[in-house]
Amino acid sequence: MSRSAGEETGRTPVQPPPVFLERQSYRRRRLMDAARLLPLMGAALFAVPLLWPSEGAGTVRMSAAITYVFGVWAILIAVSALFGRATRQSGGHQIGQETER
């Protein structure tokens, strides 16, 4: 008969407590993750005009491309402001700092 290490010593193995995050903490972390992905999304959106045809029947005018770039720029500013406001409102303390009881 084989016994596990916990049975040989007469003790039961210690299991770590289940991971539980408060709703506010979880939401704030997800918002911060989304904010970290915002520059990557912005870079991808700024690269879209590079895929537009430069010659031929489907040519995009330069004014449309400039309007697109400034539109994406304005949207990125607005979205980052919304993320900043949402993270400030969702919690009263910084992540990683212990709360005093």
pLDDT digits 0-9 by tens, 74-83: 999 999 999 8
Task: Give 94 or 59, the one with higher predicted confidence.
Answer: 59
| 24/89 Cα distance (integer angstroms) | 10
Q: Global pTM? A: 0.63
Query: What SS3 state is found at 4?
Result: coil
> What residue segments make up the domains of the chain, in order of their start?
60-92
Work out the angle at residue 33's Cα, subtended by the Cα atoms of residues 69 and 67, and round it to the nearest 5 degrees: 5
Question: Is residue 57 scored above 60 in pLDDT?
Answer: yes
Give the C-alpha separation, 28 to 86, whole Å.
8
Residue pointed to by tokens 């991808």: 44
**Token code pair at residue 67:** 């309007």
| Structure-model confidence comparison of residues 92 and 34, the more confident one | 34
d(CA 100, CA 93): 11
